[in-house]
Chains A and B, each alone.
Chain A
Amino acid sequence: MTVSTFAAHVLRGTLAARPAATDVQPGTLYVATDTGLVAQSDGAAWTAYAYVVPAGGSTGQVLTKTSGADGAYDWET
């Protein structure tokens, strides 16, 4: 059995920098800081686990839905 630390199961970075789901331990969470998508690996693929507030934005902008899809939002004036 592969041994890994807890910290290796809770990763974060941009969506583009997210590693392959096969390269992390099953159950690993990855927060895409630029989109707010929290995905979980099952060892083969990433699936949406939760959504958080994305980074970025400027004063006065509001979180706005960009489509009816879950997780489709960004900071807009």
Chain B
Amino acid sequence: MTARFADHLIRGTAAGIPAASDVPVGTLYEESDTGVVRQSDGSSWTVYALTVPPGGSTGQVLAKTSGADYDADWAAAGGGGGAALSDFRLPGVGDDGTAFGATTLDEMEYAGTTPLSAVWTAIAGTGLRAAGSEAVVQLPTTAGHGIWIDASGFDPSYEVAFLVSGHGPAGSNVAMLGIQLTSAAGVGIAMTPYSDGNSYLWEVGSGTAHVYASTGPSGGVAYTAWEDGRPVWFAIRYDGAGHYRLRRSEDGATWTTLIASASRAAVAGLARVGFFNANAGSSEAVSVHAVIYGTPDLGV
């Protein structure tokens, strides 16, 4: 059979591919809808190469959809299909918890006495980071009040991590920075700092037993003056099987489990992920360096 060169290079949809026996041996067929290029050996088609697939949208990345060769497609950055950053709404962050207007997380703001000083920048669809000076918020003096992300649309299969440090006054009962994952009524799981002078614990619940979220500059819990504590990471992750897991790390690499298995059922109507004050009457500035979600690669 005589064939022109051009007859060996054909193109069409995956569904429109001719029988391998109907084309000259060696013919290449590019599937216009998948990017797969197949080669005929005269009896069957085998994958020859995968060109960059058509489609996709701004910001998407080419991600593997299975472990099979060439099984890839365009997906949202940061975990292959996680929630878009704009899916997180921050309807209100005020020193009394009162909503004062809908914003998106990348427009995070604070209406307390000390505003967030940093410019928050999206991290490739996975979170936020503070640019320039660190983001400092002044937590309110009323226990249980603070700032938080409206997590009502939060997919708990994704991880949320915070890089924070306390900035507190002299004394041992300072840096009452906490992270909570709760319902609007405050029921849920929390990581909150508390000092009774001796022990510091992590517990499920709110307002009972606590731990320092950020230790003092020398590693202890006490501050000798108004000063920065050591930055610490906190991560909250849902295991997909009815429980949350909370961990912390001071270097971002080695994680310590704080709560290995907190019942999801304890969180009735998940609504908030954020920071709050667990100690009535105290008032501390908190440095918030980054908020990241949808990054299970943290390995927590």
Alpha-carbon distance between A75 and B67 when the two chains are bound, in angstroms: 11
- Are A62 and B35 in contact, CB atoms less than 8 angstroms apart? no
Residue of B nearest to A51 (CB): B52
- Are A52 and B49 in contact, CB atoms less than 8 angstroms apart? yes
| Proximity string of chain A (1-33) to chain B, C-beta cutoff 8 Å, 1 when within and 0 when not | 000011111101000000000000000000101
Residue B48, interface by CB 8 Å: yes
- Are B35 and A53 in contact, CB atoms less than 8 angstroms apart? yes
Alpha-carbon distance between A52 and B70 when the two chains are bound, in angstroms: 10
- Are A10 and B26 in contact, CB atoms less than 8 angstroms apart? yes
- B49, B51, B79, most chain A CB atoms within 10 A: B49
Residue B97, interface by CB 8 Å: no
- Are A61 and B49 in contact, CB atoms less than 8 angstroms apart? no
B42 to chain A, nearest CB (A): 9
For B79, the chain A residues whose CB sits under 8 A away are 60
Residue A67, interface by CB 8 Å: no
Residue of A nearest to B39 (CB): A10
- Are B80 and A62 in contact, CB atoms less than 8 angstroms apart? yes
| Proximity string of chain B (48-91) to chain A, C-beta cutoff 8 Å, 1 when within and 0 when not | 11111100000001111111011010010101100000000000
- Are B80 and A60 in contact, CB atoms less than 8 angstroms apart? yes
- Are A58 and B25 in contact, CB atoms less than 8 angstroms apart? no
Q: Which of B15-34 contact A (CB under 8 A)?
A: 24-28
For B243, the chain A residues whose CB sits under 8 A away are none
A62 contacts which of B8, B39, B63 (Cβ < 8 Å)? B63
For B5, the chain A residues whose CB sits under 8 A away are 6
Alpha-carbon distance between A8 and B82 when the two chains are bound, in angstroms: 44
A-B interface pairs (CB < 8 A), number:
73
Residue B297, interface by CB 8 Å: yes
Alpha-carbon distance between A31 and B61 when the two chains are bound, in angstroms: 23
B52 contacts which of A53, A55, A58, A59 (Cβ < 8 Å)? A53
For A6, the chain B residues whose CB sits under 8 A away are 3, 5, 8, 24-27
Q: Which of B218-238 contact A (CB under 8 A)?
A: none
For B53, the chain A residues whose CB sits under 8 A away are 53
Residue of B nearest to A53 (CB): B50
A residues contacting B by CB (< 8 A) are 5-10, 12, 31, 33, 38, 52-53, 55-63, 75, 77
B residues contacting A by CB (< 8 A) are 3, 5, 8, 24-28, 35, 37, 39, 41, 48-53, 61-67, 69-70, 72, 75, 77, 79-80, 297
Apart from A6-B3, A52-B37, A77-B297: 18 A-B pairs, beta carbons within 8 A: A6-B5, A6-B24, A10-B26, A12-B48, A33-B49, A33-B69, A53-B72, A55-B70, A56-B69, A57-B72, A59-B80, A60-B64, A61-B63, A62-B61, A62-B63, A62-B75, A62-B77, A63-B62
The list of the 4 closest CB pairs from A to B, nearest first, reads A7-B26, A55-B69, A53-B50, A6-B26
